[in-house]
Structure 1
């Protein structure tokens, strides 16, 4: 089966967050929105076809998450990532962030410390502070080649008896790393030594580019599986964030029971009937589509890299191993963070995420979502190239 990503449906007159909020966030609607992490690529037809079929039944009452949906995901995780779960290990959640909040409630108390490795997706900080815990910032190390690594010496030097959890982003958003086995094993050793629970956000795990391979943290060993709460979902992989459905996987019974105490207080319920159908259809039919999607995304990244390589004095692109989020090092422009953001809005007419939103370590960086149709990506490249060219000419 062939899939084309040349064009995508227009979202401007829909309720799409990335378009609807342009005026509020960027002060103008005259920007291409390349910030929030969903794709301007159509959700695959095998998902929409399954929904249309379900619509033939005229009743949409309360429903449980069907066991067949969990089984489809379990099979996918085993085939793609080599980790095996049972249905009993799986819980429904409407979002990874909701699951993160629940885990923090379950495994820590007010005033405890939670490890966050910056620069990182902003809800990692907010989930901690909103629940009156303390953020223990363990910045990633940026090497000369632009690749980030763990700083485990810094991490261990900060851990004390009040340090209860680490929020791991794997693959990492925004720096695009796929953590290698030896890196994860070293992190595991520290967590075991200090009795730290791992919350592993693996929502981008399917969007990994060869030769890299995602290693689920819980797959490292039995000991790892016993202290890990993992989150997965279809939102990023199949552009289905609007279905508000993901899962939490906890293999250790004691850990799962502790999580369930907090989970039950929130009353997550079991989601929506159309979301169940879409979720199952994606995992049962998505292999070929995902393979083609990753080829397309890689091509988009290559176009962006070629452009950045033409203007290395201004902008460098972080080598990417996963996700569709380019982490742009713009420190060469010599602009303050607000000025940098304004450059992209006013000169390139692009709405990006400011790097500073991902923590102090993101100062001077910008995040660009390149999950776009070919036509839209060409437009983004043209606008950014024009802005960089003018900056070079005008000094």
Structure 2
């Protein structure tokens, strides 16, 4: 491999969120943080080199998002995901959550219903509540092998005239599904029938493992394109969350004009000149790095699966198709949700996300971030192995 993912730079004294908040979240600093979804993997050198080169200019002032940066993203999306956008279709955003908040504001009113499919990334729930919309919960169904599917019949029964927006997570966080075309088409059919707009969070779309293939929701048809706001970016793919840059793609003209009414209420400006530089460098130069990263991440995932199998799947790893987030079924421990959290903190000395933070459907689960260097993954597995050995022999 050309790139080295064996080690990573220390983040202990870098004000990294996952370290700063350890004591507040876990009651101790004596845990290895494996929760917040950024990677303990060095941001690619070609991104950092581009930023260093830009810093040779002594003025860091206001800058418009360069067309060349969006053009790099357009080329990436067409090549990697088979969807075409024009420059006019793309807008700057500092985060997917900010984009989602704007979509909720633009396409629903106070008291309207917004569809979420749980268990789900927590801001999908909090953003709806904070804007005084009603959550229409359409829980995913879990198959016998632990994987998840849409519950279309449940959704059909719950949609009514107050249902205005669907928040789609594709690929899904935390369950790691890559939705198949036929699954997405079932969602599309319902949304078209009931005049429901789709906000599609596709921030993990580059982190898909073969033979799975990400299908952008807007690529399903022209009708899909006309009702879809897509959130995409480099933050997860290239471990660049700290640059606070993403984008919003809206191919439908009428939809885009309506969205802009909310977008213009907020002074988004155009972000940072250094973020623009990093964004473009990632899309221009990142393909080879990403392919090697995915090989590395999958090997980390396999280590996790192996250690859980060693202990007779007391903890089961949900089969994943994308992301670097493992959804762990911990019900085999026979503990309460508090007890499961304590097991990881006190016995394994690992700081994970609790399943309940992803909704009540996450009861009995934990989410573990395996987007780490090889050395750190071996330490995570070692700690989990020791904790499970002790648990199963007490």
Q: TM-score, normalised by structure 2?
A: 0.99
- 1:222-241 equivalences in 2 (<5 Å): 222-241=222-241
Aligned partner of 1:83 in structure 2 is 83
Distance 1:280 1:132 in 2: 37
Contact kept, 8 Å, 1:119 with 1:360, in 2: the verdict is yes
- 1:76-225 equivalences in 2 (<5 Å): 76-225=76-225
Deviations 1:227-253 (A, max 9, x none): 000010000000000000000000111
Aligned partner of 1:257 in structure 2 is 257
Alpha-carbon shift at residue 205 of structure 1 (Å)? 0.1
Q: What SS does the aligned partner of 2:99 have?
A: helix
Q: What SS does the aligned partner of 2:393 have?
A: helix
Deviations 1:153-186 (A, max 9, x none): 0001001100000000000000000000000001
Aligned partner of 2:378 in structure 1 is 378
Q: What SS does the aligned partner of 1:383 have?
A: helix
Q: What SS does the aligned partner of 2:198 have?
A: strand
Contact kept, 8 Å, 1:204 with 1:236, in 2: the verdict is yes
Q: What SS does the aligned partner of 1:62 have?
A: coil
Distance 1:125 1:7 in 2: 35
Aligned partner of 2:303 in structure 1 is 303
Alpha-carbon shift at residue 312 of structure 1 (Å)? 3.1
- 1:278 is aligned to 2:278: yes
Q: What SS does the aligned partner of 1:234 have?
A: coil
Contact kept, 8 Å, 1:178 with 1:208, in 2: the verdict is yes
Q: What SS does the aligned partner of 1:280 have?
A: helix
Aligned partner of 1:44 in structure 2 is 44
Alpha-carbon shift at residue 338 of structure 1 (Å)? 1.1
Q: What SS does the aligned partner of 2:164 have?
A: strand
- 1:26-37 equivalences in 2 (<5 Å): 26-37=26-37
Contact kept, 8 Å, 1:313 with 1:333, in 2: the verdict is no
Name the count of aligned residue pairs: 394
Distance 1:222 1:204 in 2: 23
Contact kept, 8 Å, 1:179 with 1:215, in 2: the verdict is yes
Alpha-carbon shift at residue 189 of structure 1 (Å)? 0.3
Alpha-carbon shift at residue 334 of structure 1 (Å)? 1.2
Alpha-carbon shift at residue 313 of structure 1 (Å)? 4.8
Deviations 1:195-223 (A, max 9, x none): 00000000000000000000000001001
Distance 2:359 2:229 in 1: 24
Contact kept, 8 Å, 1:204 with 1:323, in 2: the verdict is yes
Distance 1:270 1:80 in 2: 26
Alpha-carbon shift at residue 314 of structure 1 (Å)? 1.6
Q: What SS does the aligned partner of 2:160 have?
A: coil
Distance 2:333 2:33 in 1: 22
Q: What SS does the aligned partner of 1:238 have?
A: coil
Alpha-carbon shift at residue 267 of structure 1 (Å)? 1.3
Q: TM-score, normalised by structure 1?
A: 0.99
Contact kept, 8 Å, 1:32 with 1:350, in 2: the verdict is yes
Unaligned runs of 5+ in 1: none
Distance 1:237 1:313 in 2: 30
> CA, structure 1 residues 301+313, in 2 after alignment: closer, same or farther (shift >3 Å)?
closer
Q: What SS does the aligned partner of 1:266 have?
A: coil
Contact kept, 8 Å, 1:231 with 1:246, in 2: the verdict is yes
Distance 1:335 1:93 in 2: 41
Q: What SS does the aligned partner of 1:265 have?
A: coil
Alpha-carbon shift at residue 97 of structure 1 (Å)? 0.1
Contact kept, 8 Å, 1:167 with 1:200, in 2: the verdict is yes
